[in-house]
Structure 1
Amino acid sequence: MSILAWIILSSLLGGTLSVAAAALFAFSARAAMVPLLVSYAIGALLGAVFLEILPHAFELSHDVHTMAGTVLFGILLFFTLEKLVLWRHCHHTDECEVHGVHEGHTDHGRSGMMIMVGDTFHNFVDGILIAAAFMVDVQVGVVTSLAIIAHEIPQEVGDFLILLHSGYTRRQAFTFNLLSSLATMVGGVLAYVGLQSLQGLVPYFLGVAAASMIYVAVADLIPGLHKRPEIKATVQQVSLIALGIASIWLTEALLGGLA
């Protein structure tokens, strides 16, 4: 199978699976399992970064300092982008749209539409990162795709709940999320075409991908786990994070054995 076929298949399958799984959790009592998914997603993200993506990025660039700087730049970039999004949502408004979903009031679709616009852009960037990974090696691409899918599911659950809160029906929420997921394939295909002639940029895309995953895991997901400090919850969280890392390691080992 060609690299482009891998990119298209991973983008389509990953988007469909994450949206379908998120709908299952959001539309049923299984939403209570979302915190478990978050812990697993943290492990999958960090496992993909430190076991696959960064080692290959350093290997390809042959310049440790430049790659380390790229990762640092990426983390600061995602911090700044998130700040801009929060500022846009909360500045000069009587009711902050970022937090309004928790207050039990509908907003006539405003926050839901903003969530879809942001998620579509996010999916487009995910496609670029998947393409860059596959252009290094199929094994790196598969592991990167699995990590992205793992963290997309709990995020998509949140998107579903915000859309429902904004007044959308279940069918509309599912349709909009599914259409938004197609941006992953668009980003992947465009990146494949562009990076074909710019192979030297691939390691830097991997560095930005690593920064994205580190930032999501450390800044967005881990703080939520601290809301349950009791021993039982902590043991459960650590175990699931370890399971996420182990699943990435096992996937890498299996793919490496088949290569």
Structure 2
Amino acid sequence: MTYLLNFAPWQQALFATLFTWGVTALGSALVFAFKTIRSHALAMMYGFAAGVMIAASFWSLLDPAISLAEELDKTPWLVVSSGFILGGLFLYVADKIIPALYIRHNENEEPPHKIKQAILLVFSITLHNIPEGLAVGVAFGAIQAASSAQHATMVLAAVTVAIGIGLQNFPEGAAVSIPLRQNGMSRPRAFMYGQASGMVEPIAGILGALLVSYVSQILPYALAFAAGAMIYVACKELIPEAHARTKSESHWAIFGIMAGFTLMMILDVALG
């Protein structure tokens, strides 16, 4: 951790988003071991990732944003609420541009159509990974912009955001590569498509870190924006997917959400 702080914020963001991309690839690599994954396991993975993101959105992003807004003599509730809403609206507009397409098992569909649908899913997840990469970049850029009193808090916040994004990328990678394999695509090619969705995160992370590092006045807005984007992803994508995997046995998804939230809450509160 200390060694990482010797680098510039954009370099820290690059390392962190390479990690999140790597976790996406790790999830995609499950295609080499499995052709299918039990629905209960997938439900818990999606739920766990959602719980992590919800907890990280408050303790790692919104709470520091409130403190920074107070230091800058801004109205905290106005700054945080506006940034938060803009983050959600950004992804809403993104959904309208490229609709989130999820593969649903339908025996009447031909395999080529299923593969085409899965490839569109790659583009959809890639689009959603842009604000996630920005969230990581903003968190690491905030370290340089923060006061000395808040330095340790912002370091922990940045690390927890990167961990949270990485955890939610794991089931995403598997959710792309494994259905492609089920529909007849080779394992290496399915893996390549699955990990490709995380490639934009390092680019977005560097941009986020540079922006915040040089324009400190927008930092609380940027942190709240990242939180809004993360909550949108959790509520729109991860939680519905978690419940869809089990249907009548939704408690698996709920257990996953609670476990993820509890873990991230412990990391943020106990270590902070």
- For the aligned pair, the TM-score class normalised by the smaller chain equals 0.7 to 0.9
Query: Offset at 1:233?
Result: 4.5
Contact 2:52–2:264 (CA<8 Å) still a contact in 1? Answer: yes
Match of 1:221 among 221, 238, 244: 238
Residue identity matched to 2:134: I
Q: Distance in 2 between matches of 1:100 and 1:246?
A: 30
TM-score by length of 1: 0.80
Match of 1:129 among 126, 135, 142: 135
Unaligned runs of 5+ in 2: 143-153
Q: Percent identity?
A: 21
Query: Offset at 1:131?
Result: 0.8
CA distance 1:255–1:29, change in 2 (3 Å) = farther
Match of 2:191 among 166, 174, 199: 174
Provide the aligned length of Structure 1 versus Structure 2. Answer: 244
Query: Offset at 1:139?
Result: 1.0
CA displacement, residues 138-176 of structure 1 (integer Å, 9 cap, x when unaligned): 211111111111221222222213543665421112223
Match of 1:74 among 68, 87, 90: 87
Q: Distance in 1 between matches of 2:65 and 2:32?
A: 36
2:45 alignment partner in structure 1: 37
Query: Offset at 1:34?
Result: 0.9
The runs of 4+ residues in structure 1 deviating greater than 4 Å are 224-230
2:146 alignment partner in structure 1: none
CA distance 1:123–1:9, change in 2 (3 Å) = same
Contact 2:212–2:222 (CA<8 Å) still a contact in 1? Answer: no
1:110 alignment partner in structure 2: 116
Unaligned runs of 5+ in 1: 90-97
Residue identity matched to 1:35: A
1:246 alignment partner in structure 2: 262
Contact 1:101–1:165 (CA<8 Å) still a contact in 2? Answer: no
CA displacement, residues 197-225 of structure 1 (integer Å, 9 cap, x when unaligned): 22222222221211112112223233345
Query: Offset at 1:132?
Result: 0.3
Query: Offset at 1:47?
Result: 0.8
Residue identity matched to 1:143: T
1:198 partnered with 2:215 = yes
Contact 2:177–2:193 (CA<8 Å) still a contact in 1? Answer: no
1:145 partnered with 2:162 = yes
Say which SS state the counterpart of residue 98 (structure 2) adopts.
helix
CA displacement, residues 68-98 of structure 1 (integer Å, 9 cap, x when unaligned): 1221233233233223323xx8xxxxxxxx3
CA displacement, residues 16-55 of structure 1 (integer Å, 9 cap, x when unaligned): 1232134316851661111110121121111111222110
CA RMSD of aligned residues (A): 2.8
TM-score by length of 2: 0.77
Residue identity matched to 1:56: P
Q: Distance in 2 between matches of 1:106 and 1:29?
A: 15
